[in-house]
Chain A
Amino acid sequence: AQSVTQLDSHVSVSEGTPVLLRCNYSSSYSPSLFWYVQHPNKGLQLLLKYTSAATLVKGINGFEAEFKKSETSFHLTKPSAHMSDAAEYFCVVRKSGGYQKVTFGTGTKLQVIP
């Protein structure tokens, strides 16, 4: 079984300040973890993925995430928020290997204040 919990449904930051979107996962096996972003009226775009290589993963648009097995966390961060970062962000877990079902978190809406 696998699950993912996004701890905040809404996060609001000022432009130019750091972003932290929290994600905790639960799985009984070695997981693959992903972050996706969804802009209004758009599909989901992959930001970054963790697949058991380096625990600090760099993604697009300046985002990165760190896999911490001891804390079962995969938080998404960015040093400085841009207005264009305002969107919905989804943390996703999947069992590594084969054609495995993915489980989405409930999403975190990021608001960036000018």
Chain B
Amino acid sequence: DTAVSQTPKYLVTQMGNDKSIKCEQNLGHDTMYWYKQDSKKFLKIMFSYNNKELIINETVPNRFSPKSPDKAHLNLHINSLELGDSAVYFCASSQQNQPQHFGDGTRLSIL
């Protein structure tokens, strides 16, 4: 299936831990994104990569570090997790000027 897939779907972990979320798209898109959706459903962009180059970097704590090994992958690593990091994280991809395609989200819960 052509899609944006992210793993894991659910992530429950302790405060202070380091965790990664992986994202892969097989749509041939050249741009990938990470969004955070809070408990009120508000979506905020965090990062965007075009052809492995960082093009959007919103005001995000530097505990969050995206890594794009190739055009089809954009992973999100989070250090020293805090309670406020609990949210749903969405990966998306697009081709220039085209709408974004979203993954199903990763539900991160910090204990």
Contacts and interface: CB of A to CB of B under 8 A. Distances in A.
Do A and B come from the same complex? yes
B48 A106 contact: no
Interface in A87-104: 88, 90, 96-99, 101-102, 104
A102 B45 contact: yes
Contacts of A106: 40-42
Interface residues of B, number: 24
B45 A101 contact: yes
B55 A44 contact: no
Interface in A27-57: 32, 34, 36, 38, 41-46, 49, 51
A68 to B, nearest CB: 21
A104 B43 CA distance: 6
Given A42-B104, A99-B31, A101-B48, A107 B99 contact: no
Contact of B105 (A32, A42, A104): A42
A99 B90 CA distance: 18
B100 interface: yes
Nearest to B100: A102
Contacts of B40: 106
B99 A46 contact: yes
Contacts of B96: 98-99
Contacts of B44: 104
Given A90-B43, A99-B31, A106-B41, A34 B48 contact: no
B25 interface: no
Interface in A68-102: 88, 90, 96-99, 101-102
Interface of B: 4, 31, 40-45, 48, 50, 55-56, 90, 92, 96-97, 99-105, 107
Query: What 5 A-B pairs have minimum CB-CB distances, sorted nearest first?
Result: A43-B102, A104-B43, A44-B102, A43-B104, A107-B41
Interface of A: 32, 34, 36, 38, 41-46, 49, 51, 88, 90, 96-99, 101-102, 104, 106-107, 109
